[in-house]
Structure 1
Amino acid sequence: MKTIHNPFKEKQSIELTVGTFIISTILFMLYIISNGNSMVLVIAWPFALGAIIVNAIMFIHLMDRFIHFPEHRKDIGMKILILLSNIPILFFYYLIVMKS
């Protein structure tokens, strides 16, 4: 009997990860290009807070799916790792902004 792999169809976590990464990178580049203009921070800090909240909700959602769908753990685990990959990148951006 042949086993059919049915991947986990949830795509919102990847879209959220890519979207927050792109917007964060654009805001970071604007801050660097503007030589540390504080107006960019007025936009960036509320976005960062919102992104943290939304990403935390998505993480909790994925962990719930990871627990309840053991047959899809590999796919869900990869999505969790991709979601968490934004943390070191954004921490690096934060360190650069705080040192300037």
Structure 2
Amino acid sequence: MAPGCPQQSRSASPGQLSPAARRNLAAELNHRFDPSTPLPGARDGAAELARARVFVTEGYGHSSMYVPSTCTEQVKQDYLISGAFPAAGKTCTVDASPFAG
């Protein structure tokens, strides 16, 4: 353990969330055409949490970092800064197709 770092509770095993953590709204961002985590899998994962929502970007690939979307970046900022999450059903498009020449 590094000096100055708080020690992890021995009562919680890796992968377990405390009841308090499960009450917080979790945002799961997913591309509609994600080959690593297909959208049904993202929705199944979100269903495992007490309060989670899946936000869909109409794009390709596994990470929103590699397929730019100004709209999705705004969703991330709103969520991380103020806890705001877009209305159910809202999606974002990508700024350009990853397959554009």
TM-score category (smaller protein): under 0.3
TM-score by length of 1: 0.28
TM-score by length of 2: 0.27
Larger C-alpha radius of gyration, 1 or 2? Answer: 1
* Structure with the higher fraction of residues in strand conformation: 2
Which of the pair has the greater relative contact order for Cα pairs under 8 Å at 6+ separation?
1
